[in-house]
Structure 1
Amino acid sequence: MWKVSTGKGIKVAVLDSGVDGSVPELRGQVLPGRDFTEAKSGAPQDREGHGTDIALLIAGRGTGGGVWGLARGAKILPLKVLSPKALGTRAMNRAIRSAADSGAQVINISAGRAADELGRAGLQPAVDYANRKGSLIFASTGNDGDSTNEVIYPAALPGVVGIGGVDEKLSVAKTSTHGPQVALTAPGTEIPGLCLEGGGYCALEGTSGATAIASASAALIWSAHPDWTNNQVLRVMIQTAVRPADGKVPSEFLGYGVVNPGKVLLDKAGKPGPADVNPLHAAPASKPPSPSTPTKKKPSSPASAQQAVAEPENRVSGTTLWVGIGLGVLAVSAGAAYFLARRRSA
């Protein structure tokens, strides 16, 4: 895919815990950012490590035998909204608007929280603003699929593309939160990232990494088709996604399927369609719960939560898809040690 597109010319805003631009793989990849938390410690500072991991998955350059991101030509705009204390609605609101004003085509939010009606109402205007400015917003749906399955925001807001996670078998990841807020899915298990202690790399789990891969996929597609709008990029991502096994979409576990940018870049698949129509708005079944809907759902059975993904019509195998979407490069190079110690869910 990199012979067709590396994501060059695309700015991806990472709304997270900050990004450490001194990490070898990210040198030269990180733009000056802003800190919207109360701490005001500076956007480049990332004491949690979460935002840096997300940036690596999107635009890491493998320097020193490290992580290659899927869209290695994209640039990262770090906007800090997460602090050890909390994720605030006000910080998220301001950061989404700032990302849109900065010209970020893609906004990655690998975070969220259960919100009351006031919180939802506070974020929706910012989401609408960013959509009108031409940004495409991806947000993780959460990691409570095997427990409370709690709906989180902003992933469940209209105008945000909620991202769930799948495992190596292309089944929904056990912890991936499911429901009508899931629009697309991406790999969310055994994803490389920096270890919190001791150096080296650890295996990450969660919809945070899946969201980064979805954002990077959009960057690749948009770089190859710079005249497309946010709606058109999203439409071809939906059209080319690997469908659930039963063929019914949107699925509450997999949305419209697993992102498959190679289908767009290499096979020239997908029709961009109208520039000003959001493809998710045209599908009522994919809309998130109304404000009156409880934020907690009864967990589904493990069997239903492990809904499989079938091969698409072009008979691309699961293995080919897994490599084709970039996990062949989302890995630590042979020259570096890879520690398989489990890290916290991302």
Structure 2
Amino acid sequence: MQIEKAWKVSKGDGVTVAVIDSGVDASKPELRGQVLPGVDVTEAPTGAHVDTDGHGTQMAALIAGTGAEGGVQGVAPGAKILPIKDLKGNRDIGFELALHKALKAAVASDAKIISISQGATHLGLEEDGVQKLVDEANKKGKLVFASSGNDREEGNEGKYPAKLPGVVAVGAANKTGTTSKFSAYGPHVALAAPGEAIPGRCIGASGWCQGNGTSQATAITSASAALIWAAHPDWTNNQVLRVMMETAGKPEGKVPSRYIGYGTIRPARVLLQGEGNPGPADVNPLPAAQERLASKPSTPPAASASTPADDKPAAAAGEQSRDRKGSRDTENSGGVAKIAWIGAGIGAAAALALAVYALFRRKRA
């Protein structure tokens, strides 16, 4: 992604990213001064800066971490984080309603980008309300990114809100640009980003772990949008998204691919090479979004139980829809990945250890 070179052009200054998650611990060295007050919409609020889960803090650091004191170096260290807390732990009640409240707060905020690294199989009676908020976010000039889900090998149902028209659904790819074997796919997937062996603070333990999931891919995509928007503040949400789609590393075969959409993100091609035509300011480049905004709201489906997406060990990358710029995988096998406990700042040394990714299981993608 050539992020260090891209920082010479943009670090995301002036852009706020709303992170809908489990809250953000603003006391972490890499997040000091990066996190706005935020809002807690959970049933028993304790504050948006209280993160008993750890997932939201991970996502925020990937977006805007400064790398201070050897901490996580995010993709857009000049951006600010608006934490919107809608999850508190494993057994959250009323996830669909909480997501609706969180998205409503994000739409009403000054955040240009809304990053949602969580999801459920169904939104029940809240689906219509969430869809209307997505429509409103688009009309107000915001970008909404959400993780496609990690259930490709368990039925590939995919997750909401990523499947809603107007949401930019993000899949995960490995270092070769190949879709990750766990990454949910379908016609709604718009973009892909790195989602394997991503550094972060361990959840439920001290030290550093490598995480895998469409959650991480979504955070990195949101941060990349912040880099581009900061460099082109006069562009609209549609124009930022369009250049991201145009400059993405294209999949083999049909575009969009049902595995990595329009490709794996390449923000440096916009920032360093000046590639990408922003096009019309008022036309959403996602066909489903265009159709949705031109039609009447959909009728909500009958209520059904939600099934959260889980962050889990990355199995080997799949063979489908490889980024044309990536190398070809030859021998891939599944299984729990070896985890590197690393200093996530640039140039930090790594000490190898094994870790179990059950810690990452949560109501998220």
The TM-score with structure 2 as length reference comes to 0.82
How far has the Cα of 1:130 moved from its partner?
1.2
Alignment of 1:274 onto 2:288: no
Query: Aligned partners of 1:339 and 1:304: how far apart in 2?
Result: 25
Structure 1 residues 339 and 67, CA gap change in structure 2 (3 angstroms): farther
Alignment of 1:99 onto 2:112: no
Q: Which residue, out of 36, 40, 44, partners 1:35?
A: 40
Structure 2 unmatched runs, 5+: 1-5, 308-315, 329-342
Query: Aligned partners of 1:100 and 1:78: how far apart in 2?
Result: 13
Q: Which residue of 2 aligns with 1:310?
A: 324
Structure 1 unmatched runs, 5+: 297-301, 312-316, 320-329
- The aligned length equals 323
Alignment of 1:72 onto 2:74: no
How far has the Cα of 1:129 moved from its partner?
1.3
Q: Which residue of 2 aligns with 1:327?
A: none
Q: CA RMSD, aligned part only? A: 2.8
Contact 1:200 1:339 (C-alpha < 8 Å) held by counterparts: no
Contact 2:30 2:66 (C-alpha < 8 Å) held by counterparts: yes
Contact 1:184 1:254 (C-alpha < 8 Å) held by counterparts: yes
Structure 1 residues 304 and 29, CA gap change in structure 2 (3 angstroms): closer
Q: Which residue of 2 aligns with 1:81?
A: 86
Sequence identity, in percent? 53
How far has the Cα of 1:170 moved from its partner?
1.2
Alignment of 1:55 onto 2:69: no
Per-residue Cα deviation, 1:152-185 (whole angstroms, up to 9, x for no partner): 1100001100000001121100100001111000
Q: Which residue, out of 345, 353, 357, partners 1:332?
A: 345
Structure 1 residues 210 and 338, CA gap change in structure 2 (3 angstroms): farther
Query: Aligned partners of 2:139 and 2:324: how far apart in 1?
Result: 35
Q: Which residue of 1 aligns with 2:212?
A: 205
How far has the Cα of 1:151 moved from its partner?
2.3
Contact 1:101 1:133 (C-alpha < 8 Å) held by counterparts: no
Alignment of 1:262 onto 2:268: yes
How far has the Cα of 1:131 moved from its partner?
1.2
Amino acid paired to 1:183: A
Contact 1:180 1:286 (C-alpha < 8 Å) held by counterparts: no
Alignment of 1:129 onto 2:142: no
Query: Aligned partners of 2:83 and 2:352: how far apart in 1?
Result: 27
Query: Aligned partners of 1:119 and 1:283: how far apart in 2?
Result: 19
Structure 1 residues 284 and 173, CA gap change in structure 2 (3 angstroms): farther
Structure 1 residues 207 and 34, CA gap change in structure 2 (3 angstroms): same
Q: Which residue of 1 aligns with 2:148?
A: 141
Alignment of 1:215 onto 2:222: yes
Query: Aligned partners of 1:42 and 1:303: how far apart in 2?
Result: 38
Amino acid paired to 1:120: E
